[in-house]
Structure 1
Amino acid sequence: MAGRGSRLRPHTLTVPKPLIPVAGEPIVHRLVKDIAKVLNQPIDEVAFILGDPAFFGDDIVDSLKGLAKSLGAKASIYRQDQPLGTGHAIMSAKESLSGPAVVAYADTLIKANFTLDEKADAVIWTKKVKNPEAYGVVNLNEKEEIIELVEKPEEFVSDQAVIGIYYFKDIAVLKGKLQEVLEENLMHGGEYQINDGIKKMMAEGKIFKTGTVDEWMDCGNKNVTVETNGKMLNFLQQDGEKLISDSVKKEASEIIEPCYIGENVVLKNSTIGPHVSIGDGCVVENSSIKNSLIQTNSSIKNAKLDNSMIGNHAKYDGNYTQISIGDYSVLE
């Protein structure tokens, strides 16, 4: 999670993308917990690969340590000092690369219910897609084993897109192959990629299988993050989770579920929902809001919002419909 999330600016100018809340909880927290559910086995350690300490500071480290502790695991914090690709990022945590492990990119959310194939040396998590030519996909043999990774195929290879989550029976094998990649200076676009380590494992006959997720939800830019927030709220409502705090104060207002509304939110003469997340301490007056994400301690007045995203400690009073403003912004 070392990247700066430039496609989600301005929201990632002050908060790293994996810490942006979706449906009331940071992306990386939801992802780690959902992976843990699929694994259904004890987790000893969660290693987080962060970027510049000036951006990924002590408060973020404390949050991640709390996440690992909630799973009964220790947290290990590593820094990727240069943006040199996924393979380089993984090797930044080389002290933790032993035994069974999952590698995940912390900018997507999933909904999954499958069992890991214990006969496989590795499992690449995939999602069936309608337009595989837009993704990196896996090529399978007659045994349903992955024999090739193909980036944006012009001719049909499969409809199983790689989503950026991998399981390794012994990640030390990947570590060895990525070390070879570094020593050979094998780069693509100036970066070292995990795929080159995986291809070296396949060349030695290691068995790769797929684990197909039910939902793969992106958080790459404002529009897809708002869409993902709506999907996640639907799932949480179906699971019976409590989404609206008891401390919400409503005055002549209506909430159309599903919505997440945090602690000490004040709603006056407003209609909220569906598919809206509002963080702690916000005040919303004379407004209609749907399909939107609002973080904490913001003030919204006289708004009619749809497909919008507002950061922390922001003030908004106006008649735009689709907006995206970051932390401490004022638009009146």
Structure 2
Amino acid sequence: MKAMILAAGRGERLRPLTDTLPKPLVPVLGKPLIVYHIEKLAAVGIVDIVINHAWLGHKLVETLGDGSAFGVKIRYSAEACALETGGGIKQALPLLCDDDSDAPFLVLNGDVFIDALPQIMPLVEAALAHLWLVPNPEQHPHGDFALSEGIVREQGEHKYTFSGIGLYRPSLFNGTPDGAFALGPLLRAKMADGHITGTRFNGFWCDVGTIPRLQALELTLESALA
């Protein structure tokens, strides 16, 4: 299986750190945030990784190189301007797909921290997409999607927050436009037909989107190491 780490965002809410660094290179206890993802992928044998980039993307390439230092192979999908999540994944499909295969690939947001990857292999026969959902954090109390008997729906009695971790088949992007587009509306359209499955992610998860959340994450990790 191949994986993609989304790393093209500007990271406005992490300024001034992101004035000189792309968001996924912001350090957490001295280690770039994206390196935690790379190490976890390598540990489970996912060694073919694609990283997209836009803002200060050359620094990602300079820091991570070809991935050999981490025991993986990294390839890059450069975006002249950020293509949003959907457009960024679509542009990278030639790097994520082998010939005409519709095998799913794993995508992780580069600005989240998790303590471990979710269980992936039993889900390789997933529908067009499989999403991991988390309990709603303080900054997103109303959630994104409902989950009912393994099917993700736009509406429901209780909503969870999308973790930024998903399995996607290339065919999910059939008929989508070239250029920038958001992933959310595409997923919602497929949910209406029951094509999106999901699982609750019960591990530790943090959206490292602001300076206070970054500081809180570091305190949590320091406590765990003490």
TM-score range, shorter chain: 0.7 to 0.9
Q: Aligned partners of 1:133 and 1:56: how far apart in 2?
A: 28
Q: What's 1:90 paired with?
A: 89
Q: What's 2:182 paired with?
A: 193
Change (3 A) 1:223 1:95: same
Post-superposition Cα deviations, 1:92-144, rounded to whole Å, max 9, x if no partner, equal 21212323311111111012464234243332122123669635422223x23
Q: Over aligned residues, Cα RMSD in angstroms?
A: 2.8
* 1:56 partnered with 2:57: yes
When normalised by structure 2's length, the TM-score is: 0.79
Q: How many residues align?
A: 212
Q: Aligned partners of 2:69 and 2:181: how far apart in 1?
A: 33
When normalised by structure 1's length, the TM-score is: 0.56
Q: How far 1:14 moved relative to its partner?
A: 0.9
The DSSP-based 3-state class of the residue aligned with 1:92 is helix
Q: What's 1:106 paired with?
A: 110
Q: How far 1:8 moved relative to its partner?
A: 1.1
Q: Aligned partners of 2:107 and 2:118: how far apart in 1?
A: 17
Q: Aligned partners of 1:132 and 1:9: how far apart in 2?
A: 18
Q: Aligned partners of 2:88 and 2:117: how far apart in 1?
A: 28
1:28–1:106 contact (8 Å) kept in structure 2: yes
1:79–1:92 contact (8 Å) kept in structure 2: no
Change (3 A) 1:48 1:4: same
Q: How far 1:78 moved relative to its partner?
A: 1.1
Q: What's 2:4 paired with?
A: none
Q: What's 2:8 paired with?
A: 2
Task: Report % sequence identity.
Answer: 24
What does residue range 123-202 of structure 1 map to in structure 2 within 5 Å?
123-129=130-136, 134-141=141-148, 143-146=149-152, 148-149=153-154, 157-168=157-168, 171-176=169-174, 180-182=175-177, 192-202=181-191
Q: Aligned partners of 1:73 and 1:112: how far apart in 2?
A: 18
User: What residue identity is the alignment partner of 1:100?
Assistant: P
Q: Aligned partners of 2:185 and 2:211: how far apart in 1?
A: 31
User: What residue identity is the alignment partner of 1:27?
Assistant: L
Q: Aligned partners of 2:117 and 2:52: how far apart in 1?
A: 26
Q: How far 1:182 moved relative to its partner?
A: 1.4
Q: Aligned partners of 1:136 and 1:36: how far apart in 2?
A: 31
User: What residue identity is the alignment partner of 1:97?
Assistant: L
Q: Aligned partners of 1:219 and 1:205: how far apart in 2?
A: 31
Q: Aligned partners of 2:64 and 2:132: how far apart in 1?
A: 23
User: What residue identity is the alignment partner of 2:105?
Assistant: A
Q: Aligned partners of 1:181 and 1:79: how far apart in 2?
A: 19
User: What residue identity is the alignment partner of 1:173?
Assistant: S
Structure 2 unaligned spans of 5+: 1-6, 98-102
Q: What's 2:100 paired with?
A: none
Q: How far 1:213 moved relative to its partner?
A: 3.5
2:10–2:23 contact (8 Å) kept in structure 1: yes
The DSSP-based 3-state class of the residue aligned with 1:199 is helix
The DSSP-based 3-state class of the residue aligned with 1:140 is strand
Change (3 A) 1:211 1:72: farther
User: What residue identity is the alignment partner of 1:224?
Assistant: R
Q: Aligned partners of 2:10 and 2:61: how far apart in 1?
A: 16
Q: Aligned partners of 1:126 and 1:35: how far apart in 2?
A: 19
Q: How far 1:231 moved relative to its partner?
A: 1.4
Q: How far 1:71 moved relative to its partner?
A: 4.9
User: What residue identity is the alignment partner of 1:210?
Assistant: T
1:34–1:110 contact (8 Å) kept in structure 2: no
Q: Aligned partners of 1:72 and 1:86: how far apart in 2?
A: 26
The DSSP-based 3-state class of the residue aligned with 2:94 is helix
Change (3 A) 1:159 1:232: farther
Q: Aligned partners of 1:50 and 1:34: how far apart in 2?
A: 20
Q: What's 1:81 paired with?
A: 80
